[in-house]
Amino acid sequence: MNALADSIARLNLSNGATLSFHHHLRNGDDVMRQVLAACDTLGLRDLHIAPSSLFPCHASLIPYLQNGTITRITTSYMTGPLADAVRAGALPHPVHLQTHGGRACAIASGRLPLDAAFIAAPAVDAAGNLSGATGPEACGPLGYAMVDAAHAGRVVALTDHTADRLPRICIPAKQVHNIIHVPRIGEAAQIASGTTGRAPSETGLIIADLTARLIAASGLLQNGFTFQTGAGATSLAVARALAPLMAADNIKGDFAAGGITGALVDMFQSGLFQRLWDVQAFDLAAVQSYAQDADHLAMSADQYANPERPDNIANQLDVMILGAAEVDMDFNVNVTCASDGRIIGGSGGHADTGAGATLPIVTTPLVAGGFAKLVKTLTCLTTPGATIGALVTEAGIAIHPSRPDLAQAARAAGLPVKDINDLRRLAKAHASKAPPPRTTGRIIAHCEAPDGTVIDHICA
| Amino acid letter for position 372 | A
* Residue 448 falls inside a structural domain: no
Q: With bands split at pLDDT 50, 70 and 90, how would you rate the model's confidence at 1?
A: low
Is there a single domain that holds both residue 393 and residue 427? yes
The domain of 44 spans 3-190
* Residue 134 falls inside a structural domain: yes
Using the 3D structure, point to which of 190, 219, 238 is the last residue of a domain. Answer: 190
- Over 60: is that where the pLDDT of 412 sits? yes
* Residue 446 falls inside a structural domain: no
Most distant CA atoms of the chain, gap in Å: 70
Query: For the chain, what percent of residues have pLDDT higher than 70?
Result: 98
pLDDT in the model for residue 439: 87
Q: What would the pLDDT profile of 124-183 be if each residue is shown by its tens digit?
A: 999 999 999 999 999 999 999 999 999 999 999 999 999 999 999 999 999 999 999 999
Is there a single domain that holds both residue 379 and residue 239? yes
pLDDT in the model for residue 66: 98
Is there a single domain that holds both residue 154 and residue 251? no
Is there a single domain that holds both residue 308 and residue 257? yes
* Residue 453 falls inside a structural domain: no
pLDDT in the model for residue 196: 57
* Residue 34 falls inside a structural domain: yes
pLDDT in the model for residue 10: 95
Is there a single domain that holds both residue 68 and residue 94? yes
- Over 80: is that where the pLDDT of 198 sits? no
Is there a single domain that holds both residue 398 and residue 319? yes
* Residue 454 falls inside a structural domain: no
Best CA proximity match to 232, nearest among 343, 321, 337, 102: 321
pLDDT in the model for residue 195: 55
List the CATH number of the domain containing 333.
Answer: 3.40.1080.10
CA distances from 194 to 129, 282, 344 (A): 31, 11, 10
Using the 3D structure, point to which of 128, 162, 190 is the last residue of a domain. Answer: 190
Q: How many domains does the structure of the chain reveal?
A: 2
pLDDT in the model for residue 320: 98
Q: What would the pLDDT profile of 342-385 be if each residue is shown by its tens digit?
A: 999 999 999 999 999 999 999 999 999 999 999 999 999 999 99
Is there a single domain that holds both residue 251 and residue 315? yes
* Residue 182 falls inside a structural domain: yes
* Residue 433 falls inside a structural domain: yes
Burial of 126 (0-12, 13-18, 19+ CB in 10 A): exposed
